[in-house]
Amino acid sequence: MNQLVNKSQQIMIQQVKEWGEIIINWETANRYKLMDINKNEIGFVAERHKGLMTTLGRQFLRSHRPFSVDIFNESKKSVLHLSRKFFFFFSNMFIETNEGVRVGAVRRRFGILNKKYDLCDEYGRVFATVKSPFWKIWTFPIIDRSGKVQGAISKKWGGVLKEVFTDADCFLLDYGQGAWTDNQRAVLLATAISIDFDFFEDNNSRN
């Protein structure tokens, strides 16, 4: 895990889509490439497929569906596991090592004018928040406990054709100047994935 989360000060998270999925709008399990700023691949992310119920949940529950996600390093070794149950409004994603040790959690919270997450360490303590106005739909500042912006998660523009015809997303996770621990960096990476599921999962159906 440490090699992955410390690999780069910035990580690009590129969703992988297949043409069949784009054309017929049939959602398959989410997959992402993890790259450094020079686009060298440093790992990948794959949603677990658990049979027919998972497939149906993906089609009808969409971004509110339960899911399990594995993060692999560049040696194709599973290093982190993310899990989340079905939710109506506020989600809780838990991050564990491959050995089942709790690393932290990402908790979506209520906000009238903001998209808000609490980022928790392995003891359940909030070490940072992500708080972004609804009108800034592609920028998610990372704010530490002192109230300072110490990094950001941002969706990158993919071009007109891509934005119109597919929900394949690309995010940049910038760790900024924050003195993050390895576990906190892992939670920040999980937060970027949670944001994609929560706010950009349904682009295809909207378009």
Distance of CA 57 to the CA centre of its chain: 19
Higher pLDDT, 4 or 177: 177
pLDDT at 131 > cutoff 60: yes
pLDDT at 18 > cutoff 90: no
pLDDT at 109 > cutoff 70: yes
Taking all residues of the chain, what is their mean pLDDT, rounded to a whole number? 80
Q: Distance between CA 14 and CA 35 in Å, rounded? A: 8
pLDDT score for 23: 43
pLDDT, tens digit (0-9, with 9 covering 90-100), for 48-93? 876 555 555 555 455 667 788 999 998 889 999 999 987 677 789 9
For residues 12-39, average pLDDT: 73
Amino acid (1-letter code) at residue 177: Q
Cβ pair 32, 66 in contact under 8 A: no
List of residues 6+ apart from 57 with CB closer than 8 A:
65, 66, 86
- Per-residue three-class SS string for 68-129: EEEEEECCCCEEEEEEECCCCCCCEEEEEECCCCEEEEEEEECCCCEEEEEEECCCCCEEEE
pTM, rounded to two decimals: 0.82
Q: Distance between CA 191 and CA 22 in Å, rounded? A: 25
